[in-house]
Amino acid sequence: MNSYAVFLRGINVGGINIKMADLKNALKSRPFSGVVTLLASGNVVLASELDPAGVKKEFEACLRETFGYDAWVVVLTAGRVAALVDACPYPADDASTHTYLTLASDEEVLSELLEAGRALDGAELTRLGPEALAWLAPAGGTLDSPFSKLSSKAKYKAATTTRNLRTMIKVRDAVAGI
């Protein structure tokens, strides 16, 4: 049995509202165990005999069939979540900036996003691995930051999702307990 973190893209925003209890209930019919939902932003930890691609396929199918929307998730093993948190060079808590990790299910899309982000004035980005990059945003101005605006473009929607480092630490700790 493998432990995974699953990061949902775009729920509880833009009219797609899913209660975590409903999500957990829907996942009971899939080849997952130990399902725990974290926060209302679409973070799930679970165990499965499937490989990461299989977890992604089953999870997205469940969301589409149960909740009726084009669903995309990023699936990481417990070890990868821990490694990404450890590799992040930015602080989890800082009075002037917030640290975010953009996670991707497609390495090429993440590479394209990274290159486009490096062209932005003042963007501070660090590639953490093939599936993640870390970046800083000013406290109180995340959504207005140039990289946030870039990463929210439709062309990145199916392959990426973003979490703050504090959330990633909570997910790391939760998936370690599965």
pLDDT tens, position by position, 53-92:
999 999 999 999 999 888 899 999 999 999 999 999 999 8
Enumerate helices (H) and strands (E) in the chain, giving the number of each.
6, 8
In degrees to the nearest 10, what's the CA dihedral of 42, 162, 131, 50? Answer: 0
Share of the chain above pLDDT 70, in %: 96
Written as one letter, the residue type at 25 is: N
Q: Quote the crossing angle between the two packed helices 165-176 and 78-87, to the nearest 10°.
A: 140
pLDDT computed for residue 18 by the predictor: 86
Q: CB–CB of 91/153 below 8 Å?
A: no
On the question of pLDDT at 12 being above 70, the answer is: no
